[in-house]
């Protein structure tokens, strides 16, 4: 089984913010497979199993704040007896242009507190991740990532969420390298308008 974890912050105040794009990808996958995320207090996460994909996949969104995501991920992995290679973490990246995807098999947290928490809890940087570009504007980074997308950014980010969900499915059905080869290139101009 694989575990796809989308990172974000819980609560209505954070819905559809740049920082919650990981949640949007997990919700896109749940919608595609006609499943509904449910709250699990024991894992501090919303989660659902998708049995008909590969060897099965568990979709999850920690219900902790971003900087405490590692606890939920560790608990989910322990309960389901999964290793770091079975995990794909999906999260926002303000250093990537809006809509750009970047997959990696391992590496540092790169300043992202959610990923930093996961790395600390699991004790390894060897875990696949999918970054979704939310762009960076002038001003304070915190207010930018906690802000919502502008109306003119929405089509681009909606297309990126769909591509990120596609990339996650390639990760599940094949592996991280196949997903990297297919999705690390810049999207075609037509894809941005989808």
- Verify whether residue 33 is a known catalytic residue: no
Q: Which of 19, 33, 112, 144 is catalytic?
A: 19
Q: What angle do CA 160, 56, 183 make, to 5 degrees?
A: 25
Instruction: Give dist(CA 73, CA 117) in Å, integer.
Output: 9
Which DSSP string do the residues of 158-183 spell out, in sequence order? HHHHHHHHHHHHHHHHS-HHHHHHHH
- 10 Å CB burial of residue 31 (0-12, 13-18, 19+) is exposed
Distance of CA 150 to the CA centre of its chain: 21
Q: Which residues are catalytic?
A: 19
């Amino acid at each position: 089984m694989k575990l796809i974890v989308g990172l974000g912050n819980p609560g209505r105040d954070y819905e559809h913010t740049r920082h919650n794009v990981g949640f949007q990808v997990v919700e896109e996958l749940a919608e595609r497979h006609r499943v509904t995320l449910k709250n699990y207090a024991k894992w501090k996460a919303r989660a659902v199993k998708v049995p008909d994909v590969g060897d099965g996949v568990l979709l999850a969104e920690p219900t902790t704040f971003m900087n405490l995501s590692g606890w939920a991920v560790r608990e989910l992995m322990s309960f389901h007896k999964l290793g770091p290679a079975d995990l794909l973490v999906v999260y926002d990246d303000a250093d990537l242009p809006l809509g750009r995807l970047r997959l990696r098999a391992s590496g540092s947290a790169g300043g992202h507190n959610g990923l930093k928490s996961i790395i600390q809890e699991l004790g390894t940087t060897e875990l696949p991740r999918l970054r979704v570009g939310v762009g960076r504007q002038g001003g304070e980074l915190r207010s930018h990532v906690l802000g919502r997308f502008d109306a003119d950014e929405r089509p681009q980010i909606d297309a990126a969420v769909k591509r990120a969900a596609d990339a996650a499915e390639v990760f599940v059905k094949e592996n991280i390298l196949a997903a990297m080869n297919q999705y690390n290139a810049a999207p075609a101009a037509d894809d941005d308008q989808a």
